Amino acid sequence: MNHFEYRHGRLHAEDVDLESLARAEGTPAYVYSTATLTRHFQVFDRALEGLDHLVCFALKANSNQAVIATLGRLGAGADVVSGGEMVRALAAGIPPDRIVFSGVGKSQMEMDAAIAARIFQINVESAEELELLSQAAVGRKAVADIVLRVNPDVDAKTHEKISTGKGENKFGIAIDRIAEVANIACDLPGIRLRGLALHIGSQLTDLAPLEQAFGKVIALIKELRAQGHELDRLDLGGGLGIPYRGETPPLPDAYGAMVRRLTQGLEVKLICEPGRLIAGNAGILLSRVLYVKQGSSRQFLVLDAAMNDLIRPAMYDSWHDICAVSPRGGEGSHEVYDVVGPVCESSDIFAKARSLSPLDAGDLVAIMSAGAYGAVMASTYNTRALVPEILVNGADYAVIRPRESIESLIARDQIPPWLKS
Ligand SMILES: *Cc1c(COP(=O)(O)O)cnc(C)c1O
């Protein structure tokens, strides 16, 4: 469920009319809904009610400070995958004891910063990482609480570019090496092994691969305990899918019930890292039609938004619903368009042969489900300035990242001395 709805024939974000918003703030622009972010977080959190758990929003899905702060106030922690994201989480007011740090390539500087900040947990993805982490901790007279990220070798049955739990993926430690790495960890003075973690992929629309992977890791926790390791944490990762195109991903309640069943009597603190589930359908990319161009065999809707603003269709072949903000022509009237952006790449396509309400140059469209892996993946390709992000809250809205100017974008380049004279 989200809070983007038609009222009197116009698409609104909560109580904000998107036509007025676009006039005031320009396009393209990302628009997020506070009520939707809140609802998604709370529905997920409540699905785990009664279990000792911490929901850490995966910042890489949407790391705007205002989005993080919105979720932080509801009790969310943060799952970060870089030192930069850790700084963002702290700056937005997430307490260190609600931050977990994952990632296959943490640099020495990043580890040191994580130790210095006394974050809740570091998710270690290789034996090689352990030694450096221990040194960093000892250097700061600290002991790092870690979990080992297991690669359970399970097919998440999702797009290959967002699959992370197969043996061939770079993520985690092979399941049959975990016992050995756990022993290495226990011999290191700066490390306290607390448990195991996994994250098998994103946009999962079926609980079965998750259940299979959780089962494997839970069995492993029991094995390690039998060998004398005192483990009290299980990090289940993220990955729950959302409906982009009428999919019916598992509801948080079904996920919660499965987790409850599997972890019965296990006595661990659970950490969950949802990203897309919280933010995906809480945001849209608002864009204006520049041209309706007649091609030789098809009709192109050329938008002012492009692949640099939202790369998911080009990168993952993903589907986004596209809605006319003020549909015309009455029920059932439609035209078929290829919806494209202005960037000089053939892959700059949001949708092919899409049936939409008839549109003219100057009309607004909303590219739906763009709240996760949207703005965070934007680039300035073709020297297109980063677009603004706007957060709606009831009838209020605020620009939470202003539109970048072309001048400031260019000003970051520097001319070397030999080109100056
Ligand atoms: C990306 C990622 C997540 C979030 O994935 P979603 O599919 O957005 O829920 C969680 N944990 C880790 C380690 C990740 O890399």
DSSP 307-341: TTT--HHHHH-----EEESS--S-TT--EEEEEE-
For residues 274 and 249, give the distance between their C-alpha atoms in angstroms, rounded to a whole number: 14
- Active-site annotation holds for 344: yes
276 Cα: distance to centroid of ligand 1 (angstroms): 8
Q: Which SS3 state, helix, strand or coil, does residue 73 take?
A: helix
Give the position, in ligand 1's atom list, of the atom nearest the Cα of 149.
13
Q: Which two tokens stand for residue 407?
A: 């001048």
For the segment 4-53, what is each residue's pLDDT rounded down to a tens digit?
999 999 999 999 999 999 999 999 999 999 999 999 999 999 999 999 99
272: Cβ below 6 Å to ligand 1?
no
8 A C-beta contact, residue 31 and residue 13: yes
Helices vs. strands in the chain: H and E counts, helices first: 12, 21
Give the residue among 372, 383, 381 at the shortest CA–CA distance from 30: 372
Task: Kindly report the length of the chain.
Answer: 421
* Mean pLDDT within 299-305: 98
Q: In which band, very low, low, confident or very high, does the pLDDT at 375 lie, cut at 50, 70 and 90?
A: very high
For the segment 90-143, what is each residue's pLDDT rounded down to a tens digit?
999 999 999 999 999 999 999 999 999 999 999 999 999 999 999 999 999 999
Of residues 156 and 192, more confidence is placed in 192
Q: What is the set of domains in the chain, with CATH numbers?
A: 4-32+280-410 (2.40.37.10), 34-276 (3.20.20.10)
61: Cβ below 6 Å to ligand 1?
yes
What percentage of the chain has pLDDT greater than the value 70? 100
Give the position, in ligand 1's atom list, of the atom nearest the Cα of 373.
8
58 Cα: distance to centroid of ligand 1 (angstroms): 6
- In this predicted structure, the answer to whether residue 347 has a pLDDT above a threshold of 80 is yes
For residues 190 and 108, give the distance between their C-alpha atoms in angstroms, rounded to a whole number: 14
* Mean pLDDT within 191-210: 96
* Mean pLDDT within 167-171: 85
- In this predicted structure, the answer to whether residue 330 has a pLDDT above a threshold of 80 is no
158: Cβ below 6 Å to ligand 1?
no
Q: Which SS3 state, helix, strand or coil, does residue 202 take?
A: coil
- In this predicted structure, the answer to whether residue 56 has a pLDDT above a threshold of 80 is yes
276: Cβ below 6 Å to ligand 1?
yes
* Mean pLDDT within 320-327: 97
Of residues 26 and 329, more confidence is placed in 26
For residues 115 and 108, give the distance between their C-alpha atoms in angstroms, rounded to a whole number: 11
| Main-chain dihedrals φ then ψ at residue 44, nearest 5 degrees | -65, -45
CA-based diameter of the chain, in Å? 74
Catalytic residue, candidates 56, 272, 323, 344: 344
Q: Other CB atoms closer than 10 Å to residue 167's CB: what's the count?
A: 13
Of residues 24 and 170, more confidence is placed in 24
